[in-house]
Amino acid sequence: MPKRFRLLVALLLVASSAALPQGTPASWTDVMAAAAEWKATVAYDALTGTGHILRGGDLVRFKRDYPVYSVGSGLSLRATAVRDTGARLEISADAVTAITRWFAERDAERASRFSIAAILIDPGHGGKDSGAIGEFGTGKDRLRILEKDVVLAIGADVYARLQARWPDKRILLTRTGDTFPSLDARVDKANDVPLGVNEAIIYVSIHANASFNKAASGFEVWYLNPEYRRTVVDPKKAEGVDKNVLPILNAMLEEEYTTESVFLARSILGSMKKSVGDSSIDRGIREEEWFVVRNAKMPSVLVEVGFVTNEAEARLLSDQEHLRKLGDGIYTGVVDFVDYFEHRKGPPVP
């Protein structure tokens, strides 16, 4: 029997016991206390008598004294779940049991899927390292722009938006101010994140470009050259695995990370192109052995948001609206990649 139908049958059996004949006593408890146990929030409109219980993305809808309540988007249970005593909002014990079982099923379903459990955003340079510098004009038209400031503004924006979208994921930022984490510290922060069996992490480094050719402009996304060989399997985490098998596992994981890095690069580049429009040139995705992408043991990319050595683009990079668009492109590209990864990777849940 498919999991969804097993769950439906179990919930209906539990819920049916809540539809008690008149005069039969039922056990009730404070809905806020039940929600606290579930680590959920409750919203209730006393005027309409409608409300919901929300835990992460799991939603239970109810109506005061109404003989039906629903869990998720497709399961309706025939029982009176909630009543308003005037002093407090109460939920029936049978509804608590049914909803608890449903939450547990949802947790088990999520645990069986592949997921991006962590995302690290790395604004390059900082502190004593200003990165690329652009200086143009004189007087009131003078502009001095530092790469470290541009990428921190974009990185902080992307970080905040990812946190708001996925409060249950670990969203990491290598620096929050004008500090200089070493390159080793940046990749170690990502490599040291503990992950479950079906969990993954991605690394997005953000930089601004420079060139002796003052006409050079545009944005691009880099990933590690597939020909570059590295060790991505940690022997300490592979205890009990035949040493002769480790090189094979390493090669398979290298190929997987490369494929996912290319997909992530394309996703970010495409979203940036849509976001900034014709204001900047799409320079495509490229291969290189940058320190962070070759040492991060995960899908990783390095985003170049524009050239601070091109006056027109430098002035764009000093405009908050343009920075917002660049951040929006990176954010949307990451979201699209995560959604694809989590819904397409691995066998489907029955």
Q: Is the pLDDT of residue 104 over 50?
A: yes
pLDDT for position 79: 67
**Mapping DSSP to helix (H, G, I), strand (E, B) and coil, where does residue 61 land?**
strand
Return mean pLDDT, the chain.
86
- pLDDT tens for each residue of 271-321: 999 999 999 999 999 999 999 999 999 999 999 999 999 999 999 999 999
Architecture of domain 3-110: 2-Layer Sandwich (3.30)
Q: Where residue 350 falls among pLDDT bands split at 50, 70, 90?
A: very low
What is the spatial distance between Cα 282 and Cα 279, in angstroms, rounded to a whole number?
10
Cβ pair 170, 118 in contact under 8 A? yes
Q: What share of the chain is helix, strand, coil (3-state, %, to 5)?
A: 40, 25, 35
Q: Is the pLDDT of residue 68 over 60?
A: yes
Q: Is the pLDDT of residue 157 over 90?
A: yes
The least confident of 138-142, 161-165, 232-236, 319-323 is: 232-236
- Delimit the domains of the chain by residue range: 3-110, 115-344
The least confident of 119-128, 227-236, 262-271 is: 227-236
Identify which of 238, 157, 169 has the alpha carbon closest to the alpha carbon of residue 199: 169
Q: Is the pLDDT of residue 267 over 70?
A: yes
Residue 265 amino acid letter: A
pLDDT for position 277: 96
Determine the CATH number of domain 115-344. 3.40.630.40
The least confident of 2-6, 71-75, 119-123 is: 2-6
What is the spatial distance between Cα 69 and Cα 207, in angstroms, rounded to a whole number?
50
Averaged over 332-348, what is the pLDDT?
Answer: 81
Measured from the Cβ of residue 36, the count of other Cβ atoms closer than 10 Å reads: 12
Q: Residue 305 is encoded by which pair of tokens?
A: 């948001």
Averaged over 156-184, what is the pLDDT?
Answer: 97
Specify the pTM: 0.69
Q: Is the pLDDT of residue 216 over 90?
A: yes
